[in-house]
Amino acid sequence: MEVSINHNKSEVEIYQECVVHLENIIVSSDKLISNLSNFVALLKQAFTKISWIGFYIKENDKLFLGPFQGNSACTEIKFGNGVCGTSALTQQIIIVEDVNNFPNHITCDSKSKSEIVVPIVINMQTWGVLDLDSYSTSAFSDIDKKYLIKCISILTKNIDLNTFILR
């Protein structure tokens, strides 16, 4: 399914367009890995500021790399380490304007300058995180936070994330 995104719109309008597209491409009858892959592909296509986007999925006390778009990435992150591990541990969204100023930052791509991580929490348990990086400092804001929460809610209401087991 080809999705066309108008990059001449405002960031809010692009997110609104993404929400509509996600409602159509996240299908409960599809495999979870397919839905996660289309999710990251859509957002990567929609925003030129995103250099990397992907899921890290919890297993025990670690996060493991899931579907992503961008350069190859770190494959395993301990809870509490880096932005992703901190978000997973605290279950809080973290926006980092300059990754060089984040204590314990894990460098997977030395060109990455800013980041936003959204925890995915199911039944008060961290399932994983959605991680977005940018080659620009201060690339992410409360607009991203607001709409990424909406995007994740589309994912969690339309599919059973508990069916995904890492092996």
> What pLDDT, in 10s, does the model give residues 119-159?
999 888 999 999 999 999 999 999 999 999 999 999 888 76
Token pair of 50, please?
């995103």
Using one digit for the tens of pLDDT, what is the confidence trace for 85-107? 999 999 999 999 999 898 877 77
- H helical segments located in 65-164: 82-90, 142-158
CA gap 60, 57 in Å, rounded: 10
Q: Where are the domains of the chain?
A: 11-163
Domain 11-163 part of CATH 3.60.40.10:
no
Q: Is the full-model pTM beyond 0.85?
A: yes
What's the CA angle centered on 68, arms 65 and 72, to 5 degrees? 75
CA gap 155, 103 in Å, rounded: 31
